[in-house]
Amino acid sequence: MLHNSLRYILAVAQAGSIRVAANMLNVAQSAISRQIINVEADLGVSLFERHARGVSLTPAGEGFLRFARDTRGLSGRVRSEIDALSGFRRGVVRIWAIDSVSQDVLPRAIIHFTAENPGIRFEVTVASTEEVVAAVEDVRADIGIAFQPQLPAAVRASLRLRFPVHALMSVDHPLAKADSLSLTEALEYPIALTPAGSGSRILLEATALAAGVGLMPKFESNSIQMLSNFAQSTSGITFLSRLCAASGLKSGQLAAVRLRDRLMSVARIEMLLLRDRALPAAAAQFHEHMARALRYASKQ
């Protein structure tokens, strides 16, 4: 339902390049350029400024982008409402989520939901918190799930839950049976961390600075699975929420020890929606289902 010109302009605005957008959409650059030129001719304004590194939106382009995003959101809602009127329970739910949620709680929620709603499909993208926020803002995602996001005015948190950062280690680790630890105590062992700039890393760096100690990771990765494997297979420790290691904790291969440092207890995961946008019926229904799943997980 979304006209090619709107799809192309949204893609170019996201990519900052006609060439990159053409690769994303698997269409010819000339087709995208032609659509942009036609829209600019109709409106009598330029939507993009061309420069050596690509393109950027003009003020008129910013206004058109808001229209294109609204149209994309409305298109999905109209499709959903038509399906509902026709007696069908179908549709597509687009979710962008951080890696920790994709390990256990999100796939289980989708499996349970589709068992009762077999006509609904899911498109799930695992991404960083910043990418999740951008996808919600651009209406590429119906629902976003992020770790301590910084939200623009157009995006709101529909749910905020605390998921404290724990020290994760092998069940055979010397500290595995401790009731709690300080970060300083955990740093006596090799550590594995998420990349610089990630939510949990920022909290850890602030805690280390306050304690007057340095963080010297033996291993860094943006993969929750690799960090969990490091903790499970070595004498080292990684720092994640229990949500990230649900399968290892259930199988008894990993131990999660609470960190006493204050900042470790305030870490939160948020569900994100575009402000003032009414979700399509399928996405709205799954949003409530996923919120219940996250609330349950936060109490484990």
Q: Which of 240, 222, 110 is nearest to 231 (CA)?
A: 240
In the predicted structure, residue 5 carries a pLDDT above the cut 90: no
Lowest mean pLDDT among 65-74, 77-86, 133-142, 159-168: 77-86
pLDDT-derived band at 39, boundaries 50, 70, 90: confident
**Does residue 273 contact residue 158 with C-beta atoms inside 8 Å?**
yes
Distance CA 173, CA 180 (A): 14
What average pLDDT does the structure give for the chain? 88
Q: Answer for the pair 131, 272: CB distance below 8 angstroms, yes or no.
A: no
pLDDT exceeds cutoff 80 at 77: no
Give the per-residue pLDDT at 83.
60
What are phi and psi for residue 32, nearest 5 degrees? -70, -45
Predicted TM-score of the model (pTM): 0.72
Q: Is 269 helix (H, G, I), strand (E, B) or coil?
A: strand
